[in-house]
Every structure is written in C-alpha cells, then in structure tokens.
Structure 1
Amino acid sequence: MAVNLREPGALAPIAGARWASVDAAIKKPGGDDMALLVLDEGATVAGVFTRNVFAAAPVVLARRHMAAASPRALLINSGNANAGTGRQGEADALVCCRRVADSLGVAAEQVLPFSTGVIGQMLPMSRIEPAIPRLAEAPAEDGWLAAARAIMTTDTVPKGFSRRVELDEGTVTLTGISKGSGMIRPDMATMLAFIATDATVPAADLDAALREAVNASFNSITVDGDTSTNDAAMLCATGAGMAVDRHKPGWAAFVGALRELMADLACAIVRDAEGATRFITLSVDGATSVDEARAVAFTVAHSPLFKTAAFAGDPNWGRILAAVGRAPVADLAIDGVDIALDDVAIVAGGQPRADYREAEAAEVMSRAEFTVHIGLGRGDAGATVWTSDLSYDYVRINAEYRS
C-alpha cells in the first residue's frame, strides 16, 4: 500500500509529445505493457542512464542512438528488462527500434529503447513486434496517464505530475511520469522517468537542467540500496512553445519547476516502495560539504536495522546513532552530533537529552511520514535524502518476484 500516494488525476498534455500504449502480453494479458512516445521534429532530448557495469541492452543502444541522431521516438516495455542478455539482447532492441522507425518514417537511430522488468530473459519478440505498428497508429497528447500505467512493474500506483511556469514571455508546461518500487538506489536516476516540456531549449542547456534536477531528486532517494541495470531519466523539449535558455531571466524559474516536478516523481517512488508503510525524510545539516551530508544520510537510509525499526514504529535511536558513527566521515567529533525525530529532540552534543521521553519518539515513528534530523556540528552544508521502511512485504514481494 503506497504511503500517502494517490493515482494522479489529469496530466497536462505537452504540445509536440504524443503517447500510445498497448497490451503486448509481455507480462500477463489484460494490461498495457508497452508505450511509445513520439516527438515532433525539432525536439531536443537529454538523458542520464545507469552507471551499473551490466547496463541493459536498451541502455547501451539508447546511449549509442543519442550520440548519432536527434531522437524522435521513445519505446518502453515493462515485464522484461532485456538485461544480462548479451549480443542477442542488443540485436532484439535494435529490431524494435527499426520496427518503430518503419512505422513512423524516421531513422532507426532516432528511436530510443527502454525496458524494465525481470533480468536475464530474452524479449518475447513474437509478441512485441506485432504490437509496435499498433502503437504507432494512435499516439495522442493526452496519453500520459495510460503510459504511466503501462510502464509499471511492481508499482501499485501510476506516478505522474504536471507543472506550469508563468514567465514574463508566457507559460511553460512540464509533465512527467516515472516507475519504480524496488531496486532503487542512487547512481544516476534509479528507475525510469520520462519528462517533457513544450519549451524550446538548446540541447546543452536541457542537459545541464536535467543533471542539476536529477541530483536533487532521483539521486536523493533509496529504497533498498540496489541500483538497477536499466535506470534512465529522459527530458524532452518539444520546441512547440516559447524559448527558454540559461541566458534568459526565466531560466531559474524553469529549472526550479523541473526540480520540483522531478522531486515529486522521485518521492512518489519511495512512497510506493515495495512493502513500504513509512515515508522517511533524512535531513542532515552541519556538514563540511554536501557530499559529507549525503554520505551520512545514505548510511542511515541503507541501515536494515534502522529500516526495520521504522517498520515496527520502534524509536530505537541507537540504530541511528550507530549508523552516523560508521558513516564515511573523517574525524567526526561525537560531541557535535544532534539527533531528533520531527520535533522530538533525542541526542544533543553526542549525549541523550535529559528531557527525552521515549513515548514521544514512539508517537512520531508511528506516523506514516516523519523526518530524522541529524546535525553534525562541523560546517554549514546539508542534504536531504528520502527513504522507506523495510517490511515483511518487501521480502515477500521480492521472494515471489518471478513466480
């Protein structure tokens, strides 16, 4: 059950970006599992991908195609990751690109493939190939929510958000969808995400905006510490609307809206984490650098002892203290460390507060959402990371993943 997360309502269409979704029976018949995003000519596209050495075949091919041509279409399938499939996996992904290209009248290099699902299995090409012409027949600007459903795997809720930014010259619209519930850990993006805007943005500026927003969103979440082989986050500017670039006054507002949108998508993944019952914010300040603050936050976020205590609603703050103490921070002075759960102060100057009452902390940890505040007392930098608890259902879902 997702933590305070509902299915999105209407998502704003983006002029120049059209979606289609179909059921190709890759997973189980009865639900769409393929989606196609078609972009108007002249669109610019930026992307970031997994750093996992065993990058999936579609990731390898998408990187190659982005270096060769301007993308016109993105093809996504769920239910099969096409990862760990060797040369045949790449060949199958290329066939998919060629089928899309033939259907749309573009070059194969202008099609980017994406896959998500079970690793180590070949794509069911006999079902995928006939589905591609059906996809190409009916792309529509209002297809965002259907596409969000089609790319789901263990997700329980489709994830999507829209933003409108009022600038001096006019309005810019952004809409994005994402998928992910498990195998979530920062090392680029940690899932699949597709965002589009009707703005006209130079390629270099679009890439810079995406990378800045990724660091404050998808690279600031973790569910289980596992980075997928298939991670990708794509940002498309269709060019149907006003021009926005880093030299214009509206650039900061545009990037700010993009960062907020992507943070919403990232937090939706954590809220829908496999088996999650808690949405936890880890806020670290008083660090000497952002990297140091993130290192402390992620050490706590990846602690199975802390995460299981969170599931139980047990304010066993010693698990937080122990994780802070083993974080990769040189010469951490414990007398500068403070810890609080929401507004309940627990540790001050490295020691338990005399007025600490466990019942108050237990009430905080019984909430569906709470924040762990950690002060290091050694600088002015800070960072925020979002994570979930670790429940019985997380083990069950992953134990039964292929059954």
Structure 2
Amino acid sequence: MPVNLVAPEAQSLLAVPGLKLGIAKARIRKPDRKDMLVMLLAEGSRVAGVFTKNRFCAAPVTLCKEHLAQPDGIRALVVNTGNANAGTGDQGMQNARATCDALADLLQIKPAQVLPFSTGVILEQLPIDRLIAGLPQCVADLQESHWFDAAEAIMTTDIVSKGTSRQITLDGKQVTITGISKGSGMIHPNMATMLGYIATDAAISQAALQALIDHAVNRSFNCITVDGDTSTNDSLILVATGKAGNSEITDTTSADYLTLRDAMTDVAVELAQAIVRDGEGATKFMTIQVEAGRDEDECRQVAYAIAHSPLIKTAFFASDPNLGRILAAIGYAGVDDLDVNSMQLYLGDVLVAEHGGRAVSYVEELGAAVMKESEITVRVVLNRGQASATVWTCDFSYDYVRINADYRS
C-alpha cells in the first residue's frame, strides 16, 4: 500500500473556472477502465510546460513542444494511458498528429491548439482507432467538476489517484488552484514517468507563468526519484485560465506573483511527494537532506547517490540499520575533494557518523528504532559551504520486482 497516502475525496478537488474535463473508457489497453482524458480550456488561457530530457522522448512530447511554440494559444489537452507512444518512429508521430486532428475537429479549433499526452507501455504502436473512437465520449462528458475522475483516468501502475486543491486571495479575488498527477515507477528527473497538470483561474502573463513553472518544478518534481529511470513521456503542464478577475500578474517580484508561485509550488510538492509515496511496492517514504554543501549541484549529487542505491533502498525496506551503505554512497557521489572527516550523517535525529567513522554516541538500537518508522529522514552535513538540497525517495520491496516483472501482463 502507498506510504501514508490515500486518494483525494472527490469534493476536495475544486473546479477551476475556465477548464472542463471529460473522461472515456476507450479500451486503449484494458477493458472497462478510465483511460482517456480531455481538458478544454477557455479561450485566452495561458499554458506552460516542462518535459522529459530523455533523448528517446515520446512522439507526444515532441508534438507538445511544437504546439506550445505556435502563436494561437492552447485550447485543449488530451491524455491516454495504457500506451506511451514512445519508440514508435514516424508512425508514432503520425498517430499523435491524428489524435490532435480528431479532437480539433470535434472542438472546432486548430490541431496546433491541442496538446497530446500518452503514458504506458513503450515500443508499441498506439491503437489510434480506439483512441479516436473514445474522443466523442470525452467531449460529451466535459464538466468543470470532473477532476476526481480525471485523476483516475491518467493512472497506470498507480495504486491511488493523486490530486489536491488550494484557494488563495489575489487582488481581492478568490483564486483556485487544482492539480493532479500520475506516476509510480520509472521515476527520476528530469522529470520522471509522470504526468502532472496544475490549473488556476488566476490571470497571469505568459512570461510570469513560465517563470512560475520553472520555480515550482525545481522544488518538486525534479526532487523525486523512485528507481533512477528517467522516462520517455514525463510532462508537467501549468494552465492559467484568467477567469478569477484579478489584475493580470506580470511582475515576478510582486506580492501577488509570490503568493501564487508559493501556493502552486506547494501543490506541486504535494503531488510530487504523492508519486513517491505510491512508488511501486513502497513501504517507506524517505527524505534525503544534504546540508552545508559548496553548491546546490553537489548537494543533489550526494542526495541522489543515496536515493538511488539499491543496497540502501533494500536495507530500508528490511528496517536494517546497515548504515555503512550510506557512507559508501556519499563517498562515490562524485564530490572528489570531499573531506569525509569533516561531515556528519544523521538518521532522523540520531547522529550515526562523524570524524570519518561511527559516532561515539551511536548504538545500533537507536538506528533500528528510526528504521522501523514509515517516514524517515537521512541528513548529511557536508560542512563545506552554505548550500543545501532535498530529495524524496522510497524503499525497494519484493513488490517492486513483482510489479515491474508483470508490467505488460
């Protein structure tokens, strides 16, 4: 089961004025499951996105980047699960374009105003006939209140759906923020096998929205890892419909911008952490904090060395305080001039190592007590500067192997 994570209640996911969502069961891979989502955006909505850096990125990722660069604005998003449309060559791109053409025809917009997204099995052609046949069902189902169904429709190996909402006040107007995400395995920046969609009715300029997504993603989805595998399809989209009635935010130093940025970042962090909590087979949620580094990059290097180690992740699953494995990971993280005699390692509040070896005060019973918890913090103090970084990850259990061994069945 996911680590301290339950599906959101339907009523907790607040409608965002100017955005409607429609769901279909199109049998993309499995019968009788929600596997398609269409989002219809009000005219004039602003959209920003960030995508995987995997060189084998899926056809929809390439097409999304192309469509976001055109001047007519984005009016619709379409998502399918069950098939990633990645590693599919020219036919995959044709299928992605056919998806946009078909939805544009139904909505009476331009194909370039549609962003397509796919997630699921790689190296298999998209069943385009089934996908196109499902689009009218999605369009007929369009409602502002369908966020809960949308969160379920984008799931693959996720055990629970992921979504959250916030409301803030900008310029005297109530502003709503709602987001959903999916992801469970093949999770590692930049970004992961995840899809994330966060929408607000705030009025904000395109430049300010782009600055906001860059800030939010580097503090959320780019701080998570389940297994170190960077997916072909990961995408994060921010939508601002502008329907709240606030004065348009253009200044990224203004109080209203900072309030919106921080609220949307909080949503992004919650959605990103939910992906780790629902990591395939996860039983432990681990926060890796690296402090007092020379710069943020080296702090991340050390954090990810710890978070990616199968030896560390399996020890956490077993609640085994075999903490020398963490020291080994710090040592091979690539910080070539690290003085290991100057750093400290903590497990929770327990000092484990200092002066290059086991702390005098450390006894294994203290470490074992921390390891039994479902949420654990590993803190590394490098003592070589003022920078810090935090990464969230999970353990490796027997179920991780089972889920990935059976993924295509």
Find the counterpart in structure 2 of residue 332 from structure 1. Answer: 338
Find the counterpart in structure 1 of residue 41 from structure 2. Answer: 39
Question: Aligned pair 1:346/2:349, yes or no?
Answer: no
Return the offset for 1:315: 0.7
Return the offset for 1:199: 0.4
Find the counterpart in structure 2 of residue 229 from structure 1. Answer: 232
Question: Aligned pair 1:137/2:107, yes or no?
Answer: no
For residues 195 and 383 of structure 2, the distance between their equivalents in structure 1, rounded to whole angstroms, comes to 37
Question: Aligned pair 1:244/2:246, yes or no?
Answer: no
TM-score in terms of structure 1 length:
0.98
Return the offset for 1:126: 2.1
Structure 2, unaligned stretches of length 5 or more? none
Structure 1 residues 205 and 255: alpha-carbon distance in aligned structure 2, compared to 1, 3 A threshold? same
Question: Aligned pair 1:318/2:324, yes or no?
Answer: yes
Is 1:20–1:139's contact at 8 Å kept on the other side of the alignment?
A: yes
Structure 1 residues 53-202: aligned runs within 5 Å: 53-68=55-70, 69-188=72-191, 190-202=193-205
Runs (4+) off by over 3 Å:
none
Is 2:192–2:231's contact at 8 Å kept on the other side of the alignment?
A: no
Is 1:189–1:233's contact at 8 Å kept on the other side of the alignment?
A: no
Find the counterpart in structure 2 of residue 399 from structure 1. Answer: 405
Q: How many residues align?
A: 403
Is 2:306–2:329's contact at 8 Å kept on the other side of the alignment?
A: yes
Question: Aligned pair 1:367/2:373, yes or no?
Answer: yes
Question: Aligned pair 1:283/2:285, yes or no?
Answer: no
Find the counterpart in structure 2 of residue 21 from structure 1. Answer: 23
Return the offset for 1:134: 1.6
1:275-306 alpha-carbon deviations (Å, 9 max, x no partner):
10000000110101111111100010011110
Structure 1 residues 120 and 190: alpha-carbon distance in aligned structure 2, compared to 1, 3 A threshold? closer
Is 2:185–2:193's contact at 8 Å kept on the other side of the alignment?
A: no
1:152-202 alpha-carbon deviations (Å, 9 max, x no partner):
000000000111122343222111000000000011355110010000111
Return the offset for 1:355: 1.6
For residues 367 and 247 of structure 1, the distance between their equivalents in structure 2, rounded to whole angstroms, comes to 41
Return the offset for 1:229: 0.3
Is 1:19–1:141's contact at 8 Å kept on the other side of the alignment?
A: yes
Return the offset for 1:349: 2.8
Structure 1 residues 112 and 321: alpha-carbon distance in aligned structure 2, compared to 1, 3 A threshold? same
For residues 223 and 191 of structure 1, the distance between their equivalents in structure 2, rounded to whole angstroms, comes to 11
Q: Secondary structure of the residue that 1:12 maps to in structure 2?
A: coil
For residues 81 and 225 of structure 1, the distance between their equivalents in structure 2, rounded to whole angstroms, comes to 19
Q: Secondary structure of the residue that 1:55 maps to in structure 2?
A: coil
For residues 202 and 165 of structure 1, the distance between their equivalents in structure 2, rounded to whole angstroms, comes to 18
Letter of the 1:8 partner, please give it.
Answer: P
Is 2:192–2:229's contact at 8 Å kept on the other side of the alignment?
A: no
Is 1:190–1:219's contact at 8 Å kept on the other side of the alignment?
A: no
1:218-254 alpha-carbon deviations (Å, 9 max, x no partner):
0000000000000100000001012333253211111
Return the offset for 1:106: 0.4
Identity %: 51
For residues 298 and 343 of structure 1, the distance between their equivalents in structure 2, rounded to whole angstroms, comes to 21
For residues 347 and 281 of structure 2, the distance between their equivalents in structure 1, rounded to whole angstroms, comes to 22
1:302-361 alpha-carbon deviations (Å, 9 max, x no partner):
111101101100011100000001111131001111011111111123221112121111
Letter of the 1:19 partner, please give it.
Answer: L
Is 1:48–1:189's contact at 8 Å kept on the other side of the alignment?
A: no
For residues 362 and 167 of structure 1, the distance between their equivalents in structure 2, rounded to whole angstroms, comes to 48
For residues 317 and 145 of structure 1, the distance between their equivalents in structure 2, rounded to whole angstroms, comes to 41
Structure 1, unaligned stretches of length 5 or more? none
For residues 80 and 355 of structure 2, the distance between their equivalents in structure 1, rounded to whole angstroms, comes to 51
Q: Secondary structure of the residue that 1:250 maps to in structure 2?
A: helix
For residues 280 and 96 of structure 2, the distance between their equivalents in structure 1, rounded to whole angstroms, comes to 28
For residues 140 and 307 of structure 1, the distance between their equivalents in structure 2, rounded to whole angstroms, comes to 42
Letter of the 2:49 partner, please give it.
Answer: G
Q: Secondary structure of the residue that 1:160 maps to in structure 2?
A: strand
Find the counterpart in structure 2 of residue 216 from structure 1. Answer: 219
Structure 1 residues 3 and 21: alpha-carbon distance in aligned structure 2, compared to 1, 3 A threshold? same
Letter of the 2:319 partner, please give it.
Answer: G
Is 1:56–1:229's contact at 8 Å kept on the other side of the alignment?
A: yes
Is 2:191–2:222's contact at 8 Å kept on the other side of the alignment?
A: yes
Is 1:19–1:38's contact at 8 Å kept on the other side of the alignment?
A: yes
Q: Secondary structure of the residue that 1:285 maps to in structure 2?
A: strand
> Considering only aligned residues, what root-mean-square deviation do their CA atoms show, in Å?
1.0
Is 2:39–2:78's contact at 8 Å kept on the other side of the alignment?
A: yes
